[in-house]
Amino acid sequence: MNTEDILIHRHGAVGHISLNRPKALHALTLDMCHAMSAALTEWADDDGIEAVILDHAEGRGFCAGGDIAFLRNSALNDGGVSGRRFFHDEYQLNHQMMTYAKPIVAFMDGITMGGGVGIALPCKYRVATENTRLAMPETGIGLFPDVGGGWHLSRLGGRLGQFLALTGARLDGAECLWAGLATHYLPAEMVADAKARIIEKPGRISGVLSEMPGTPPKARIEDNADKIARHFASERLEDIVASLDASDDEWAAKERATLGTKSP
C-alpha cells in the first residue's frame, strides 16, 4: 500500500506509516491524507493490528504542515475548490486519529508544524527528540491554528496555548515535554531502537518508552512561564498588546514585535 509520498507497512502486529516527501519536509498532500486514512480504517478492523507507528522516512523534519503551494495554486486556478477539499479531508483525518481506538505512536523527530501538529497531537504517545521544533505558525499567513489546534492549545496551562497561537513560537523537544505536548523524550539516536522494541512488544508501548533512558535538558520556556501567564491572561488581543507595551522587559518587547508581524 505504498504511494510516492507515503510508505505504509505492517510489521507483525504493528502498522507503520512513514511520511515520505523529504523535499517538502514531508508536508501533507491530499493523497497523503487519503492514504493515511485508508490504512487506519483497514487496521481499525484488523484484530491482528495492536498499534500504529507514525514517523517520517528519509530527510529532516517530521511534517512541516499542509502544502501551502498547493493551496495558493488552488486559490489562483480553481477558485479554491481543491483547497477546500484538502482542508475538509485533512480535518476528517485529524478527527479519525483523535477517535482511533488503537494506540498510535508519533515520533516527532524534527520540524512538526501546522498540519504536522494536527497528525501528531491526536496520537496517544508523542515522542520528542532534540531535533523537535513544534509550532502552530498559522497567524503568520493570516490564518488561525486549525487541525485541532484550538482544542489542543486551549487545554495547556498558564496561558501557554494563547501565547503559542498568537506568536507561532517554536518549542523544542524538552519544551514540548514540559508543556505536555509530548508524552516522552528520547535522544534521536535512540528512536530506531524504540521503534524496534515497540514492534517486538506492541502491548507494552508505555513501558518500552518509559524504560529507555532519555532525560531532556531544562525547558527554556519555563523561565518565561510567569511572563506568559501574566501578559497573555486576557481573552482580548488589545489587552495583551497593551500589557506587553506597558512592560520594559526585553522579552515583552520581543514578543510585542512578533505580534506586529502576525495577523491573528
Instruction: Report, as residue numbers or ranges, the catalytic residues.
Output: 66, 115, 138, 146
Cα–Cα distance for residue pair 205/227, rounded to 1 Å:
36
Report the run of H or E that residue 69 belongs to, with start and end.
Answer: helix 68-77
Cell numbers for 19, please give them: 511520511
Grid cell 510508505 is found at: 7
Instruction: Name the DSSP letter for residue 50.
Output: -
Label the pairing between strands 133-135 and 171-172. antiparallel
Identity of the residue numbered 189:
E
Distances (CA, A) of 15 to 2, 66, 98, 167, 173: 13, 23, 17, 36, 25
DSSP string, 140-159: GGT---TTTHHHHHTTSSTT
SS3 139: helix
Cα–Cα distance for residue pair 146/124, rounded to 1 Å:
19
Cα–Cα distance for residue pair 198/259, rounded to 1 Å:
42
DSSP string, 202-259: GGGHHHHHHHS-------GGGGGHHHHHHHT-SSSHHHHHHHHHT---HHHHHHHHHH
